[in-house]
């Protein structure tokens, strides 16, 4: 029941016609606190406070294209990077200074009540952050242009590559597509002691695909089919890296730490390097792996991160590309210089231990993914455990408890499942009999459990749940009691009912 797509109003760009690698790779600016402030929930603590204003702006995606209207934090996309030290709390005032009308088509959302809501609304979530519920970016706590929200962030967690992005109910897919995302890096002493590349040799690479017209405008696909009013996946015609098409980066022949983030709506990326270079992956979503994992290819589903070290030593005067394995297209060109300063970085063989969670006494929740609900006049909602957003809260773990969640994927797609607040471990993926499930709701396995590969054996916050598989994770629910959410990070699914609340109860 895939939607028929309406033709875009302008012809689409053929990216192969653009001159590749003519724009320098933008490095997101580092955000600076604007002062010190108190949060009403933390009286008596004067904390560094950032101010992030969401604004419309226009920027060229490529030298030869006209400027593209976008939305971004501080008027850029990616927005400025917030860099914090573990256990140092900060505040952020997230200000909505967006125009009154959306520039992307907003009328095709499935949420029935959408039509009663203001067209432009926003609320920011810091993906992967352990935060009190009041600052988590609850999707219904959106606010309109002219308003802002003050979030409090304890940063009481291991060093990791987190990211912030919009999370407004029903339109997250459009707000992120418009450009509302940026990096939030937590650093800590233990990671620093490893001596990984730092400063200009440590940078985020935000990857996302977009549908771009010949006029340089962003298109969001719309359905032509009243029976399937929303578009279940949004695939672009080009991949942006830090907001540019085919940028280049001048590098020295030495080690670099690249934090790869998939911030696409629904595309996964299979990445590779030319010249036989390998990725040495040192971290995943929630920080360091126990040991570096070497691969020639990395696959990232939406919202997943891979923290990698790439060594350009011995490649002086070469032009190395970061490429998409599937389409063979270059995304980013590294221009390796003649020589650089002495490389004093390190890549230790041991990084940070990841003690396995003890799940012997854990409660297991069996939750289905991707059941379709076409009742109620709004065709095709993608559901989590057969429930809608507005159904009563059914997952209510106690603070401190370890649980396992088993995601039974009933659909034909892989879904990247994300839980707010917590970090988790992937236990296994195991094939099951879909017919036995559909007929009797019986969970019958048809093959052995597959343990996660080494790069998925660290702390994660988003896991790919494959079709035909039960994907099982172990979670310790650390954090403050309150309401949080879990959802599919394919943004089209998330906006169309594939998101559920969960409630953390006191210990
Ligand atoms: Cu990346 Cu609920 O978010
Ligand atoms: Cu999904």
Give the tens place of pLDDT for each residue, 350-409: 999 999 999 999 999 999 998 877 655 555 678 999 999 999 999 999 999 999 999 999
Distance 200 CA to ligand 1 centre (A): 28
Q: How many residues does the chain have?
A: 507
Each residue of 253-303: pLDDT tens digit?
A: 999 999 999 999 999 999 999 999 999 999 999 999 999 999 999 999 999
pLDDT at 315 over 50: yes
What's CA 389's distance to the chain center, in Å?
21
| Cα(164) to centroid(ligand 2), Å | 20
CA–CA distance, 446 with 469 (Å, rounded to integer):
10
Q: How many of the other CB atoms lie within 10 Å of CB of 18?
A: 18
pLDDT at 27: 98
What's the 491 CA to ligand 2 centre distance in angstroms? 8
Confidence bin at 1 (pLDDT 50/70/90): very low
Residue 176, by phi and psi: left (phi above 0), alpha (psi -120 to 50) or beta? alpha
Enter the DSSP assignment of 134. Answer: G
Q: What is the DSSP letter of 479?
A: S
Ligand nearest to the CA of 485: 1
According to CATH, the superfamily of the domain at 199-336 is Cupredoxins -  blue copper proteins (2.60.40.420)
CA atoms of 165 and 171, how far apart (whole Å): 12
* Confidence tier at 332 by pLDDT (50, 70, 90): very high
C-alpha distances in Å from residue 356, one per residue of 117, 424, 474: 45, 10, 9
ipTM above 0.90, yes or no: yes
Structure tokens at 81: 């990077």
Q: Which ligand is nearest to the CA of 491?
A: 2
- Closest ligand, as measured to the CA of 123: 1
Residue 325 has pLDDT above 90, yes or no: no
Place of tokens 């009041």: 134
Rounded to the nearest angstrom, the distance between the alpha carbon of 336 and the centre of ligand 1 is 35
pLDDT digits 0-9 by tens, 214-265: 999 999 988 777 766 778 888 999 999 999 999 999 999 999 999 999 999 9
What whole-number distance in Å separates Cα of residue 483 and Cα of residue 503?
A: 4
* Helix ranges restricted to H, 433-484: 434-440
Looking at residue 106, its pLDDT comes to 75
CB 236 within 8 A of CB 11: no
Nearby residues of 184 by Cβ (< 8 Å), 6 or more positions away: 81, 82, 84, 126, 127, 128, 129, 162, 163, 164
CA of 139 to the centre of ligand 1 (A): 10
Q: Does pLDDT of 111 surpass 90?
A: no
pLDDT in the model for residue 252:
96
pLDDT digits (tens, 9 = 90+) for 473-492: 999 999 999 999 999 999 99
| Ramachandran bin of 290, using left for φ above 0, alpha for ψ from -120 to 50, beta for the remaining angles | alpha
Number of the ligand closest to the Cα of 129? 1
Say whether pLDDT at 179 is over 80.
Answer: yes
Check if the beta carbon of residue 39 is closer than 8 Å to that of residue 152: yes
Which ligand sits nearest to residue 165's alpha carbon? 1
Q: Which of the pair, 379 or 451, is modelled with greater confidence?
A: 451
Ligand 1: residues with CB < 6 A are: 125, 127, 165, 167, 303, 418, 420, 485, 487, 489
Closest residue by CA, ligand 1 atom 3: 127
Alpha helices in 111-216 (DSSP H): 172-178, 189-192
pLDDT band at 410 (very low <50, low <70, confident <90, very high): very high
The ligand placed nearest to the CA atom of residue 497 is 2
Q: What is the DSSP letter of 213?
A: B
Find the mean pLDDT for residues 53-65. Answer: 98
Which atom of ligand 1 has the smallest separation from the CA of 163? 1
Residue 423 Cα to ligand 2 midpoint, Å, equals 20
Beta-strand pair 247-251/330-336? parallel
**Least confident residue range of 56-65, 374-383, 417-426:** 374-383
CA of 167 to the centre of ligand 1 (A): 7
**Average pLDDT across the chain, whole number:** 94
Residue 387 is classified by DSSP as B
CA of 261 to the centre of ligand 2 (A): 18
- Measured from the alpha carbon of residue 417, the closest ligand is 2
**Top-level class of domain 16-190:** mainly beta
Q: Which of the four CATH numbers 3.40.50.970, 1.25.40.80, 2.60.40.420, 3.40.47.10 does domain 363-504 have? A: 2.60.40.420
For the CA of 487, the closest atom of ligand 1 is 2
Q: Ligand 2 centroid to 288 CA: how many Å?
A: 27
CA of 231 to the centre of ligand 2 (A): 12
- Of all residues in the chain, the percent with pLDDT exceeding 70 is 95
For the CA of 139, the closest atom of ligand 1 is: 2
Which residue's CA is minimally distant from atom 1 of ligand 1?
A: 127
Could you give the CA distance from residue 229 to residue 306 in angstroms, rounded to a whole number?
Answer: 34
Q: How far is the CA of 321 from the centre of ligand 1 (A)?
A: 30
Q: Using CA of residue 486, residue 488, residue 490, residue 491, what is the dihedral sign?
A: negative
Of ligand 1's listed atoms, the one at least distance from the Cα of 420 is: 2
> Does position 108 have pLDDT exceeding 60, yes or no?
no
Ligand 1 atom nearest to CA at 462: 1
- Annotate 324-361 with b (16+ C-beta within 10 A) or e (fewer): beeeeebbbbbebeeeeeebebebeeebbebeebebee
Q: Give pLDDT, residue 224.
A: 78
3-state secondary structure of 178: helix
Return the ligand 1 atom nearest residue 127 CA: 1
Closest ligand 1 atom to Cα of 485: 2
Rounded Cα distance between 383 and 385, Å, is: 6
Give the residue range(s) of CATH 2.60.40.420 domains in the chain: 16-190, 199-336, 363-504
User: Between 378 and 7, where is the model more confident?
Assistant: 7
Q: How many angstroms is it from 296 CA to the middle of ligand 1?
A: 28
Nearest ligand 1 atom to alpha carbon 494: 2
The minimum-distance atom of ligand 1 relative to the CA of 486 is: 2
Which range, of 162-166, 173-177, 269-273, 367-371, averages the lowest pLDDT?
Answer: 367-371
């Amino acid at each position: 029941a895939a939607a028929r797509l309406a033709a875009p109003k302008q012809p689409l760009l053929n990216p192969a016609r653009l001159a590749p690698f003519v724009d320098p790779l933008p490095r997101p600016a580092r955000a600076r606190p604007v002062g010190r402030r108190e949060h009403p929930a933390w009286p008596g603590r004067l904390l560094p406070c950032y101010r992030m204003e969401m604004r419309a702006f226009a920027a060229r995606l490529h030298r030869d294209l006209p400027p593209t209207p976008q939305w971004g934090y501080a008027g850029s996309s990616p927005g400025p990077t917030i860099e914090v030290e573990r256990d140092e709390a900060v505040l952020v005032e997230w200000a909505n200074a967006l125009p009154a009308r959306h520039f992307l088509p907003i009328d095709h959302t499935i949420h029935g009540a959408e039509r009663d809501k203001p067209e432009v609304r926003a609320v920011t979530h810091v993906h992967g952050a352990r935060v009190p519920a009041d600052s988590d970016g609850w999707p219904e706590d959106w606010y309109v242009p002219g308003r802002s929200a003050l979030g409090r962030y304890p940063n009481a967690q291991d060093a990791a590559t987190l990211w912030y992005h919009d999370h407004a109910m029903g339109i997250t897919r459009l707000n992120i597509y418009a450009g509302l995302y940026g990096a939030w890096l937590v650093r800590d002493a233990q990671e620093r002691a490893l001596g990984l590349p730092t400063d200009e040799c440590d940078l985020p690479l935000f990857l996302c695909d977009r549908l771009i017209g010949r006029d340089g405008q962003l298109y969001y696909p719309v359905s032509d089919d009243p029976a399937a009013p929303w578009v279940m996946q949004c695939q672009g015609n080009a991949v942006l890296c830090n907001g540019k098409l085919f940028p280049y980066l001048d590098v020295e022949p030495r080690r670099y730490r690249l934090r790869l983030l998939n911030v696409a709506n629904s595309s996964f990326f299979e990445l590779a390097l030319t010249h036989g270079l390998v990725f040495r992956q040192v971290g995943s979503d929630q920080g360091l792996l126990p040991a570096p994992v070497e691969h020639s290819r990395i696959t990232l589903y939406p919202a997943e991160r891979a923290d990698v070290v790439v060594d350009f030593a011995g490649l002086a005067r070469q032009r190395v590309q970061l490429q998409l394995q599937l389409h063979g297209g270059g995304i980013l060109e590294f221009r390796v210089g003649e020589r650089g300063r002495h490389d004093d970085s390190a890549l230790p063989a041991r990084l940070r231990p990841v003690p396995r969670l003890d799940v012997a006494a854990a409660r297991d929740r069996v939750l289905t993914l991707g059941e379709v609900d076409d009742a109620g006049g709004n065709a095709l909602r993608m559901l989590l455990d057969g429930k809608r957003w507005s159904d009563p809260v059914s997952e209510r773990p106690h603070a401190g408890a370890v649980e396992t969640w088993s995601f039974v994927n009933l659909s034909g797609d892989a879904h990247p499942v994300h839980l707010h607040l917590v970090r988790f471990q992937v236990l296994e993926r195991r094939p099951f009999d879909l017919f036995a499930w559909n007929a009797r709701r019986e969970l019958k396995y048809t093959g052995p459990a597959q343990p996660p590969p080494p790069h998925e054996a660290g702390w994660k916050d988003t896991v790919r749940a494959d079709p035909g598989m039960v994907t099982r994770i172990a979670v310790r629910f650390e954090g403050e009691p309150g309401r949080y959410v879990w959802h599919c990070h394919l943004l089209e699914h998330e906006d169309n009912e594939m998101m559920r609340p969960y409630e953390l109860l006191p210990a």
